[in-house]
Amino acid sequence: MSDVQTEIMPEGAVSMKEGKLSNFWKDFRKKKPALISFYFIILLFIITLIGPYIVPYDPAAPDYNKVLESPSLQHLFGTDSFGRDILSRLAVGARISLTVSISAVLLGALVGTFLGLISGFFGKWVDRAIMRVCDVLFAFPDLILAIGIVAILGPGLKNVVIAVAFFSIPSFARIVRSATLETKEMLFVEATRSIGASNKRMIWKHIFPETVPTIIVYFTMKVGTAILAAASLSFLGLGAEPSSPDWGAMLSNSRDYIDSSFHLVFFPGLIIFLTVLAFNLLGDGLRDVLDPKTKD
Amino acid sequence: MKKEVLLEVKDVKKVFPLSTSWFAEKKYVRAVDGVSFTINKGETFGLVGESGCGKSTTGRLVNGLIKVDEGEVNYKGNDLANISEKEWKKYRKPMQMIFQDPYASLSPRMKIKDILMEPLTIHFPKMSSSEKQSIVKELLGKCGISEYHLEKYPHEFSGGQRQRIGIARSLILKPELIIADEPVSALDVSIQSQILNLMKDLQEEYELTYLFISHDLSVVEHISDRVGVMYLGSLVEVASKQAIFKEPKHPYTKALLSSIPQPDPKVKREQIVLQGDIPSASNPPAGCKFHTRCPLAMDICKKEVAQLQQVAEDQQVACHLY
Whether the predicted pLDDT of B273 surpasses 90: no
* B143 Cα to chain A: minimum distance (Å): 8
- In this prediction, residues A105-129 reach a mean pLDDT of 94
CB of A116 within 8 A of CB of A269?
no
Whether the predicted pLDDT of A291 surpasses 80: no
- Domains located in chain A, CATH noted: 31-47+86-294 (1.10.3720.10)
* A146 Cα to chain B: minimum distance (Å): 36
Interface test with B, best of A9, A194, A210 (most B CBs within 10 A): A194
A184-216 confidence digits (pLDDT tens): 888 889 888 888 888 888 999 889 988 998 899
Whether the predicted pLDDT of B267 surpasses 80: no
Q: Do B118 and A1 touch (CB under 8 A)?
A: no
Q: Write the residue in B100, B122, B145 that is nearest to A6 by C-beta.
A: B145
Whether the predicted pLDDT of B59 surpasses 80: yes
pTM (2 d.p.) = 0.81
pLDDT, mean over chain B = 84
State which residue of chain B sits closest to A188, comparing Cα positions. B105
Q: Which chain B residues have a beta carbon less than 8 Å from that of A205?
A: 107, 110, 118
Q: Which residues of A make CB contacts under 8 Å with B?
A: 1-3, 5-7, 10, 12-13, 15-16, 186-188, 190-198, 201, 205-206, 209-210
Cα distance between residue B153 and residue A19, in whole Å: 11
- In this prediction, residues B191-200 reach a mean pLDDT of 88
Residue A293: predicted pLDDT: 62
Sequence-separated (6 or more) residues with CB below 8 Å from residue B237? B228, B229, B244, B248, B249, B250, B252, B253, B315, B316, B317, B318, B319
* B113 Cα to chain A: minimum distance (Å): 13
Whether the predicted pLDDT of A112 surpasses 90: yes
- CA distances from residue B208 to A168, B96, B115, B125, B199 in whole angstroms, order as listed: 52, 11, 22, 25, 9
B20-42 confidence digits (pLDDT tens): 666 767 778 888 888 888 888 88
Q: Do B89 and A196 touch (CB under 8 A)?
A: yes
Say how many CB pairs under 8 Å bridge A and B: 89
Residue A135: predicted pLDDT: 92
* A291 Cα to chain B: minimum distance (Å): 15
State which residue of chain A sits closest to B174, comparing Cα positions. A195
Look at the alpha carbons of B164, B169, B172, B174 in this order and tell me if their dihedral is positive or negative: negative
CB of B292 within 8 A of CB of B276?
yes
Sequence-separated (6 or more) residues with CB below 8 Å from residue B171? B96, B139, B142, B143, B178, B202, B206
Task: Kindly report the length of chain B.
Answer: 322
pLDDT, mean over chain A = 85
Closest to A57 in 3D by CA, of A71, A72, A74: A74
Q: Write the residue in A3, A187, A194 that is nearest to B194 by C-beta.
A: A3
A148-174 confidence digits (pLDDT tens): 999 899 888 899 999 999 989 999 999
B211-222 confidence digits (pLDDT tens): 999 988 888 888
- In this prediction, residues B75-94 reach a mean pLDDT of 83
- What's the ipTM? 0.81
- Nearest-5° Cα angle at A232, A227 to A233: 100
Cα distance between residue B211 and residue B43, in whole Å: 9
Q: At what angle do helices A86-122 and A157-184 cross, to 10 degrees?
A: 40
Strand arrangement of the beta sheet that strand B78-79 belongs to: B28-40, B5-17, B70-75, B78-79
- In this prediction, residues B94-115 reach a mean pLDDT of 87
Residue A292: predicted pLDDT: 67
Cα distance between residue B249 and residue B237, in whole Å: 8
Q: Write the residue in A5, A15, A193 that is nearest to B65 by C-beta.
A: A193
Longest dimension (CA), chain A: 88
Cα distance between residue A161 and residue A145, in whole Å: 13
Q: Grade residue B65 by pLDDT with cuts at 50, 70 and 90.
A: confident
Whether the predicted pLDDT of A10 surpasses 50: no
Higher pLDDT, A100 or B304: A100
Q: Grade residue A275 by pLDDT with cuts at 50, 70 and 90.
A: very high
Residue B20: predicted pLDDT: 66
E strands, B161-248, in order: 177-181, 209-214, 226-231, 234-240
Interface test with A, best of B109, B120, B152 (most A CBs within 10 A): B109
Whether the predicted pLDDT of A231 surpasses 60: yes
- Nearest-5° Cα angle at B98, B194 to A196: 150
